Amino acid sequence: MSAQVKQLLIELEAALVADNLWSTLPPSPAALASNAPFCCDTMPLEQWLQFILLPKMQTLLEAGAPLPNNIAISPLAELVYANNLSAVDSSLAAIKRLEQCLNQP
């Protein structure tokens, strides 16, 4: 499963770039230190995906650590991007594929 997750992370990164959601500037250290779910109080969802989720998942994979097995990012993404779903369809599809893979029994 780790090889599949690794590929899905690559696909998510590519989708964020394709949907023009990739940031060239990282969030501030204060934004990264948020304790709110998805850092929703300090950064947009796409930055959380790029600067929190992707690096954390890559670190877990490299360490051979257990991966999360109950994630639900797509409901938030659908809410956040509700007014512009067609512009982020690649990213949303990539998020859903990652969720499906990780949530398998």
Domain boundaries, the chain: 2-102
* Distance between CA atoms of residues 71 and 68, nearest Å: 7
Read off the pLDDT of residues 1-57 as tens digits, 9 standing for 90 and up.
Answer: 799 999 999 999 999 999 999 999 999 999 999 999 999 999 999 999 999 999 999
Q: Which two tokens stand for residue 76?
A: 């938030």
Indicate whether 93 pLDDT > 80: yes
| 11: Cα separation from own chain's centroid | 11
The per-residue pLDDT for 1 is: 77
67, amino acid identity:
L
Question: Rounded to 5, what percent of the chain is helix, strand, coil?
Answer: 70, 0, 30
Q: Are the C-beta atoms of residues 54 and 9 closer than 8 Å to each other?
A: yes
DSSP helix/strand/coil, 20: coil
Q: Which CATH number fits domain 2-102: 3.30.430.20, 1.20.1440.40, 1.10.220.70, 2.40.160.50?
A: 1.20.1440.40
